[in-house]
Amino acid sequence: MSCWDTVHAYAFRSIGMGERLLPRSDFTICEQIVLIGSGMIWNVYFGICALVLGFALATGLAVAKNSSNFFLRKAATWFIFVFRGSPLFIQFFFAYFLFLSLKGFSPVFDPFTSAALGALIVLFFNTAAYAGEIFYGALQSVPKGDIEAADAYGLAGLARFRRIVWPTMLRLAWPAYTNEAIFLFHATTLVFFSGFPAWRQQGDALYYANYFADKTFNPFIPYPILAGYFIALTLVIVGLFGLVNKRLNRHLPADRRARVRYRPNLMR
């Protein structure tokens, strides 16, 4: 089988298109690159969906944690504490078995036991909690003068939040949020190792890399391939978030702009 045939057979294997059987012997480099790349579809899917949904919830959480309402503040604080204080790996397991038990009560919960929805929910809540804490920190660092100026212009309530507080919050939080996004994508590799079944061997990049490492008993080829994919993905994220950062900082003189510094000492 030529490499082009392999691409044809396995490029979309992870979403159930193409060849049904995974390669079983005589593994070629091409097969490993294509199949692991195919698995990246899942990582990107989890990452983007959780990031977009999580961004909205994170803003809400940050505002709630900063609010003067006691119950709202406590609820947000606890949500953030639970998801930041426990390992994501355990959260996945817990959520999977929770959905599995709920399935017994009502068939409504059937789709939740699949990775595509169940794991996405966990990642969504998890990233919302981490980003919520980042946004909360930024919300507290919004300069007092900005808010006073808004008051002076007669801006209040939602208008003040939308036009003054929120953009400044995002600008201050953006470097940290970039790191959060990178680690969210890294965290997506845990999904298929934590209870959620890979239906018909449709797994993510690490699932296939692990498959090859198990079959060939040679970790020196599949894992570096996977690492290559993730480094590329990280560079894309850094690039895209850098563009947003540039836009958020466009009104500031060059020397006062926040630079995105990549700080990798975070993990769930």
Residues that bind another protein (CB under 8 A): 25, 27, 81-82, 85-91, 93-94, 97-98, 100-101, 182, 186-187, 189-190, 193, 206, 209-210, 213, 215-220, 223, 226-227, 230-231, 234-235, 262, 264-268
| Residue (70 or 217) nearer to another protein, CB | 217
Token digits for 225? 């391939």
Minimum Å gap between C-beta 159 and another protein is 34
DSSP 7: H
| Residue (15 or 100) nearer to another protein, CB | 100
Minimum Å gap between C-beta 257 and another protein is 21
Question: Nearest Cα to 181, choosing from 115, 232, 128, 224?
Answer: 128
* Single-letter amino acid, residue 201: Q
How far is 137 from 169, CA to CA, in rounded Å?
A: 9
Minimum Å gap between C-beta 139 and another protein is 20
- Chain Cα centroid distance, residue 232: 16
How far is 238 from 234, CA to CA, in rounded Å?
A: 6
Q: What are phi and psi of 167, to 5 degrees?
A: -60, -40
| Residue (97 or 199) nearer to another protein, CB | 97
Token digits for 248? 């958020």
How far is 206 from 162, CA to CA, in rounded Å?
A: 40
| Residue (104 or 157) nearer to another protein, CB | 104
Minimum Å gap between C-beta 32 and another protein is 13
| Residue (115 or 206) nearer to another protein, CB | 206
Minimum Å gap between C-beta 252 and another protein is 23
